[in-house]
Amino acid sequence: QSVLTQPPSVSGAPGQRVTISCTGSSSNIGAGYAVHWYQQLPGTAPKLLISVNTNRPSGVPDRFSGSKSDTSGSLAISGLQAEDEADYYCQSYDSSLSGWVFGGGTKLTVL
Amino acid sequence: EVQLLESGGGLVQPGGSLRLSCAASGFTFSSYAMSWVRQAPGKGLEWVSTITGGDGTTYYAESVKGRFTISRDNSKNTLSLQMNSLRVEDTAVYYCAKTRGDWSSGWYFDYWGQGILVTVSS
């Protein structure tokens, strides 16, 4: 059971928009700690996608966007492409655990 | 270009020890925190340990506290993870990750190595 809760899977057709939620609690996201997002393509290492709630590192397409509200964060992917098929993870810090925590991951399928 | 290359993985029996290393290049190693994150086969990501760049303060997940020790050699741009009393549930791919941020904006892992497999089995 992960501290941050993500849907196990989402799907969408090419060109569509999908969102992935990341629900936390008052000891992590709700305490003001930032949400970060990672993309893990099959058989590869994770890659930073969004940092500090909304920031896209250089090289990340603007089709990817992040937001944060209260005790949750959200990743939106617009103009879905086949190459976006991957696992996506959110991450934050938890003050009760005194450590960094990840969501359980969401598998995105492009139909 | 940031590069992180892990080494030292392999097969070890329960109760045994293993030392992972991560060779870093392409950035000022001593200026950044570094972390280990693991991923059990078919499972999600789990943070293991972090060491700051300045004073070398260390942080550990409860699951490894007292068994794993993170360290760094800034003169050799190398991060290490000494793993003792290994358990079957420690079996995972271990990633070395450059860590940035601060307590106000949040810490995150901006570059990752390719990962190294550690298998704990009899």
The DSSP H or E segment spanning B50 is strand B45-51
Q: C-alpha angle B65/A27/B66, rounded to 5°?
A: 5
How far does the CA of residue A110 sit from the closest CA of chain B (Å)?
Answer: 20
CB burial readout B10-38, b (16+ within 10 A) else e: eebeeeeebebbbbbeebebeebbbbbbb
Name the closest residue on chain B to residue A48, using Cα atoms.
Answer: B110
* Contacts with B105 from chain A: Cβ below 8 Å: 34, 52
Q: Which pLDDT belongs to residue A102?
A: 98
Amino acid identity, residue A19?
T
Say if strands B92-102 and B106-112 run parallel, antiparallel, or are unpaired: antiparallel
Q: Which pLDDT belongs to residue B105?
A: 77
Closest residue by Cα to residue B81 from B37, B24, B28, B32: B37
Give the position of tokens 């099959």.
A42
Inspect the interface and report whether the beta carbons of A91 and B35 lie closer than 8 Å.
no
Inspect the interface and report whether the beta carbons of A100 and B50 lie closer than 8 Å.
yes
Q: Which of residues 38-77 of A touch B (CB under 8 A)?
A: 38, 40, 44-48, 51-52, 57
Q: Which pLDDT belongs to residue B78?
A: 98
Who's near A82: CB < 8 A, 6+ residues apart? A14, A110
Asked if residues B94 and B82 have their Cβ atoms less than 8 Å apart, the reply is: no
Length of chain B: 122
What does the mean pLDDT of chain A come to?
96
Q: Which pLDDT belongs to residue B106?
A: 84
How far does the CA of residue A14 sit from the closest CA of chain B (Å)?
Answer: 26
Inspect the interface and report whether the beta carbons of A38 and B45 lie closer than 8 Å.
yes
Half-sphere exposure of A49 (CA within 13 A, CB side): 26
Name the closest residue on chain A to residue B106, using Cα atoms.
Answer: A34
* Contacts with B101 from chain A: Cβ below 8 Å: 34, 51-52
Is B85 in a helix, a strand, or coil?
Answer: coil
The partner residue sitting opposite B107, judged by closest CB among A100, A103, A104, is A100
- Enter the tokens of residue B29: 């190693």
Closest residue by Cα to residue B36 from B99, B101, B105: B99
> Which stretches in chain B have pLDDT values below 70?
none
Amino acid identity, residue A36?
H
Q: What is the mean pLDDT of residues A83-101?
A: 96
- CA–CA distance, A104 with B47 (Å, rounded to integer): 12
* Contacts with B35 from chain A: Cβ below 8 Å: 100
Q: What share of chain A is helix, strand, coil (3-state, %, to 5)?
A: 5, 50, 45
The partner residue sitting opposite B44, judged by closest CB among A57, A99, A104, is A104
Q: Which pLDDT belongs to residue B103?
A: 82
User: What confidence category does residue A107 fall into, taking pLDDT thresholds of 50, 70 and 90?
Assistant: very high
Q: Which pLDDT belongs to residue A72?
A: 97
- CA–CA distance, B18 with B92 (Å, rounded to integer): 13
